[in-house]
C-alpha cells in the first residue's frame, strides 16, 4: 500500500469520525428540550432575580423527575444579563438562535422586558414574564404572569383610600418605564376620585439609589399637614434597603405615613432589620404566610431544594411556578414546543395557584390572580390584612388613561391582536392575522 492510499484512508476515517460525532451530538441535543433562564445574577437587580433563577432550576428538576416533557428531559440554559438592559436583548437572541431554547422565563424590570420584546417578536420566541408591571402592552410572544395595574396598584390605592382614609399621596419610584407608567395611571385614577394635584407628590430616583435622607425628609414634611398621607412605592431592586432603613432612621412609622410597596416582598425584607418597618404594607398576589396545603408543600420543596430552611418564598416565584406549569400543560396539549402551537394551546389553560384558587391564561396573555395586601411583621413576613374574595382578570390596557380605555387585547380569532381599538375596530402595532 503506497503512502497516498494510507493518507486517503486516514482522511476518510477522520471524516467518518467527524460525521458520526456530529450525528451523535445532534441526537443528544434533540434528546432534550432547552429552557432559557434570563435573570440578572449580578448588578442592582440580583437581589431580586437570583432567586427566580433558582426557582426555575427547581421547577425544571421537578418536571424531569416526573419524566420530562414529550418524552424528553428539560435542560436549563442559564445566562446573566447583569442588570444591563441592552444585554438582556443580546442574551435573549443567543438563547433563541444559538441555544435554540423552546421558551424563555425571565426579566424583572419593564425596561429589561422592553429590551427583549423586539427580539422575541422578531424570532417568534416565547417569554414568560413573572413580575408585576405597568400594563399598556400585550404581545403575542409574551405571557404576563405577574400583576397588571388592576391586579395590584389600583386595589392598593382603593384600600388606602377607603380603609385607611388616606388624603395625600406620595408616588415614589425608580426612574424607568414601570414606575412612570404606573404612576401616570395612579395619578389619573386619584384625580378621578377627587384628589387635588397639590395632594399628590411624585418622586423618581435612579436604580441603586442609596442616599435617601433628603427625600425621606421631604416625604415627612409633605405628610405633616394634618391630612392622612401614604407612600405608594414602585422603588425596585437594592435601593429598597437604604430607603426602608432611612424611614426607620427618621422615625416614620406605619401609623403616621404608611408605605405600600409593589416591588418589596419577603426576599427583599430578608436582608434588612424589619422591626422599624412593622405595619408598612405591600400589595401582591401571593405571600409566603398564606395558609394552604399547596403553599406549605411549595415552601418545603423550595427549602429542601435550596438546602436552607430559612429561605423565603415570594410573589414572582409563584408567578414562575404558575407560568412554567401552564407552559408544560400547553406543550402537552399541543404535542409540540413550537411557539405558534404553544401560543394557541395555552389560551384557557388553568393551573392551581398557591393561595387556594385557580389561575387561568386569558386571551390577552395575562392571567387571573387574587389581590392581597399585607402588613410587614417583625419576622420579615406579611400578615394579610385585605384580599379580594375572588381572582381578578388581568387587564392589559388601563381604563383610567383616555388613550387606552377603548383598547383591548385578544389573541384569539377573529381579533388576534394585542391592541384592538373597540371604537375604530382596528389594530395598531403588532398584529398577527
Q: What is the pLDDT of residue 268?
A: 82
* Cβ contact 185:134 at 8 Å: yes
Give the model confidence (pLDDT) of 159-199 as tens digits: 999 999 999 999 999 999 999 999 999 999 999 999 999 99
Higher pLDDT, 256 or 14: 256
pLDDT reading at 25 higher than 50: no
* Cβ contact 162:365 at 8 Å: no
SS3 92: helix
Distance CA 290, CA 288 (A): 6
Higher pLDDT, 236 or 349: 349
E strand or H helix at 182: helix 177-192
Distance CA 168, CA 329 (A): 46
As a whole-number percent, the residues of the chain with pLDDT over 90 amount to: 85
Give the model confidence (pLDDT) of 252-283 as tens digits: 999 999 999 998 899 888 877 888 789 999 99
Distance CA 78, CA 123 (A): 19
Give the model confidence (pLDDT) of 37-59 as tens digits: 999 999 999 989 999 999 999 99
Domain layout of the chain by residue ranges: 1-28, 150-284
* Average pLDDT in the chain: 92
Give the model confidence (pLDDT) of 123-147 as tens digits: 999 999 999 999 999 999 999 999 9
- CATH of the domain spanning 150-284: 3.40.50.2300
Q: What is the pLDDT of residue 5?
A: 52
- Rounded mean pLDDT of 336-359? 97
Whether the model pTM is above 0.95: no
* Strand residues in 241-284 grouped as ranges (E): 259-261, 281-284
Q: What is the pLDDT of residue 402?
A: 94
Instruction: Report residue 429's pLDDT band, with 50, 70 and 90 as the boundaries.
Output: low
Instruction: Report residue 432's pLDDT band, with 50, 70 and 90 as the boundaries.
Output: very low
Burial (0-12, 13-18, 19+ Cβ within 10 Å), 22: exposed
Q: How far is CA 207 from CA 45, 73, 117, 211, in A?
A: 9, 38, 21, 12
Q: How far is CA 217 from CA 135, 247, 419, in A?
A: 31, 9, 42
Amino acid at each position: 500500500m503506497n503512502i497516498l492510499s494510507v493518507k486517503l484512508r486516514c482522511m476518510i476515517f477522520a471524516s467518518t469520525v467527524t460525521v458520526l460525532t456530529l450525528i451523535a451530538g445532534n441526537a443528544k441535543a434533540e434528546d432534550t428540550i432547552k429552557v432559557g433562564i434570563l435573570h440578572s445574577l449580578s448588578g442592582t437587580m440580583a437581589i431580586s432575580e437570583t432567586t427566580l433563577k433558582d426557582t426555575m432550576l427547581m421547577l425544571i428538576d421537578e418536571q424531569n423527575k416526573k419524566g420530562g416533557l414529550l418524552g424528553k428531559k428539560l435542560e436549563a440554559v442559564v445566562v446573566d444579563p447583569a442588570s444591563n438592559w441592552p444585554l438582556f436583548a443580546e442574551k435573549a437572541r443567543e438563547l433563541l438562535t444559538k441555544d435554540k431554547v423552546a421558551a424563555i422565563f425571565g426579566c424583572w424590570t419593564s425596561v429589561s422586558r422592553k429590551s427583549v420584546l423586539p427580539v422575541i417578536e422578531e424570532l417568534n420566541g416565547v417569554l414568560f414574564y413573572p413580575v408585576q408591571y405597568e400594563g399598556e402592552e400585550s404581545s403575542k410572544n409574551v405571557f404576563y404572569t405577574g400583576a397588571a395595574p388592576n391586579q395590584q396598584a389600583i386595589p392598593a390605592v382603593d384600600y388606602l383610600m377607603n380603609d385607611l382614609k388616606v388624603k395625600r399621596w406620595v408616588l415614589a419610584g425608580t426612574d424607568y418605564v414601570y414606575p412612570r407608567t404606573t404612576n401616570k395611571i395612579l395619578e389619573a385614577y386619584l384625580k378621578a376620585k377627587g384628589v387635588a394635584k397639590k395632594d399628590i407628590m411624585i418622586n423618581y430616583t435612579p436604580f441603586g439609589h442609596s442616599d435617601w435622607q433628603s427625600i425621606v425628609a421631604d416625604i415627612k414634611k409633605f405628610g405633616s399637614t394634618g391630612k392622612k398621607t401614604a407612600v405608594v412605592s414602585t422603588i425596585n431592586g437594592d435601593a429598597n434597603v437604604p430607603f426602608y432603613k432611612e424611614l426607620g432612621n427618621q422615625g416614620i412609622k406605619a401609623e403616621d405615613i404608611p408605605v405600600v410597596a409593589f416591588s418589596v416582598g419577603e426576599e427583599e425584607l430578608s436582608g434588612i432589620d424589619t422591626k422599624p418597618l412593622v405595619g408598612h404594607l405591600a400589595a401582591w398576589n401571593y405571600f409566603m404566610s398564606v395558609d394552604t396545603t399547596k403553599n406549605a408543600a411549595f415552601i418545603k420543596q423550595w427549602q429542601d431544594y435550596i438546602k436552607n430552611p430559612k429561605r423565603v418564598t415570594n410573589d414572582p416565584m409563584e408567578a414562575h411556578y404558575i407560568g412554567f406549569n401552564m407552559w408544560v400543560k400547553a406543550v402537552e396539549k399541543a404535542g409540540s414546543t413550537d411557539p405558534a402551537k404553544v401560543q394557541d394551546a395555552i389560551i384557557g389553560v388553568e393551573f392551581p395557584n398557591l393561595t387556594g384558587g385557580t389561575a387561568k391564561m386569558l386571551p390577552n396573555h395575562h392571567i387571573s390572580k387574587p389581590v392581597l395586601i399585607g402588613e410587614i411583621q417583625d419576622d420579615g413576613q406579611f400578615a394579610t390584612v385585605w384580599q379580594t374574595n375572588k381572582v381578578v382578570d388581568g387587564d392589559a390596557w388601563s381604563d383610567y388613561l383616555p388613550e387606552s380605555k377603548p383598547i383591548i387585547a385578544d389573541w384569539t380569532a377573529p381579533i388576534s391582536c394585542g391592541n384592538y381599538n373597540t371604537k375604530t375596530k382596528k389594530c395598531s402595532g403588532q398584529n398577527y392575522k
